[in-house]
Amino acid sequence: MNDTICFRNIGQLVQVDATSQPPRLKISDGRALIVKNGRVEKVLKGSGLKSSNYSKVIDLKGKTVIPGLVDCHTHLIYAGERKSEMECRLSGSSYLDILQSGGGILNTVNATREADEKSLLKTAKARMRRMVALGTTAFEIKSGYGLDLDTEKKILSVGSRLKKELSVPVTLTYLGAHAVPDGSTRSEYFDFIMEHLPQFRDLADGVDIFCEEDVFSVKDLKRLFLHAKLVGFTQLRAHVEELSYQGGCAEAARLGAVSCDHLEYANPRDIRAMKHGDTVAVLMPGVTFFLGGEKIPLVHSMLDAGVTLALATDCNPGSSPTYNMQTVLNLACHLYRITPEQALVAATYGSAKALEGHKEYGSLQPGQRADFLTLKTKDYRDLFYYFGENFVDQTFIQGNPVRIPKNPAIE
Ligand SMILES: [Zn+2]
């Protein structure tokens, strides 16, 4: 049967026009969206009912339609939680103080090592289903809470099961270089990562590193990237210039990183390097909010230079326990002083580009996956104006409505 669905009576249809420079939103009223075999076939003016060769017609009753949101930086496969650490931070300890005293990431590492694959899959799947209900339709997921061979592989194996079991695009990243595990020196552990890197080639789409004072250096980043390229990884990413300036951003961009992430301390030289390397700047305002950071990335300089911006949750139990890209959109606008249009383009087209998926999804253009959201409002800007609301009425994946879990995905 010809599986063609007509979504008629759309109030405000929001797409991304990636052909304009910079990419912009294309907003039209009174349209019908035609979806054939899970992909956008075309957009018609008016009701779309003149052409009657549809297997199904869905009346959207004037609702707003926007592209599904893309979360291009998450650590959502983990066990445990870190509420006590939050209390320590709120009483004055810094994130790095906690990490150096054996807490922080290492807490989550211990819990994740102890958890079996089945329970990790169960919790990660509940998180992702909640994220989909809140509007996310494509994901990146990192390992990095194992810091040993077995657990890193266990996390990526859970990732590939999620990729098979949920019908959303998932990009997997090997982040062995997330922290130095207890019982190793930095150089011992880094040598171990380099030695075993080829074993991860079939388990992940890319590699990542946390380049930070007392964690991994710019020299480590360079060694990892050069080796990863030799092994055959094409997607190189890096956590850079987050808590201090190290110089990792410029080096990563020079070596062909697809994205540089965080960037609170990135300077104009780094911005030029990202522009030159066509590296996407992934920004995560939820971390700034949750850690009480005062440093805001040079977002306007990035936009002026023509660097592609992306937005992500950084979903993780230590620095950004959120599943909600709507919150990220809202924070991006008001912490970075960017417009709703700039934020929405970043969270759709920009984040898809950070995953090299922008031809396949993110803009809701003909030929792309029909992953979109209907909103409980007639104006997409309400996502940015009212905060603390959930405006997603329904998430559609490849033209099919997704069932919404009622409960929050907490353990
Ligand atoms: Zn991260």
Q: What is the CATH number of the domain that holds 196?
A: 3.20.20.140
For residue 81, report the distance from its CA to the centre of ligand 1, in Å: 16
Determine the distance separating the centroid of ligand 1 and the alpha carbon of 276, expressed in angstroms. 24
Task: Let me know the angle formed at the C-alpha of 366 by 364 and 371, rounded to the nearest 5 degrees.
Answer: 35
pLDDT of residue 88: 86
Residue numbers of the domain that contains 29? 4-67+363-401
CA distances from 242 to 5, 21, 238, 300, 342 (A): 45, 28, 10, 17, 22
- Separation of CA 175 and ligand 1 centre (Å): 9
* 406 located within any domain: no
Residue 176 CA to ligand 1 center (angstroms) comes to 12
Centroid of ligand 1 to alpha carbon of 212 (angstroms): 12
Ligand 1 centroid – CA 24 distance (Å)? 27
Q: Ligand 1 centre from 57 Cα, in Å?
A: 41
* CATH number of the domain where residue 391 is located: 2.30.40.10
Q: What is the pLDDT of residues 114-161, one digit of tens each?
A: 999 999 999 999 999 999 999 999 999 999 999 999 999 999 999 999
Nearest to 364 by CA among 139, 166, 68: 68
Q: Note whether 375 and 353 are within 8 A (CB).
A: no
**340 closest CA partner among 320, 326, 359, 351:** 326
Distance between CA 240 and CA 148 in Å, rounded? 23
pLDDT category at 351 given cuts 50, 70, 90 is: very high
Instruction: Measure 178 CA to ligand 1 centroid, in angstroms.
Output: 9
Identify whether residues 307 and 384 lie together within a single domain: no
Residue with tokens 């540089």: 260
Q: Please report whether residue 46 resides in a domain.
A: yes
Is there a single domain that holds both residue 371 and residue 350? no
How many angstroms separate the alpha carbon of residue 314 from the centre of ligand 1? 5
Report how many domains make up the chain. Answer: 2
Alpha helices in 278-374 (DSSP H): 285-291, 299-305, 325-336, 340-345, 351-354
- % pLDDT > 70, the chain: 96
Residues 257 and 298 in one domain: yes
Alpha-carbon torsion, ordered 108, 279, 325, 13, to 10 deg: -160
Q: What's the gap in Å between 216 CA and the centre of ligand 1?
A: 14
pLDDT exceeds cutoff 90 at 92: no
Query: Mind listing the pLDDT tens digit for each residue in 204-245?
Result: 999 999 999 989 999 999 999 999 999 999 999 999 999 999
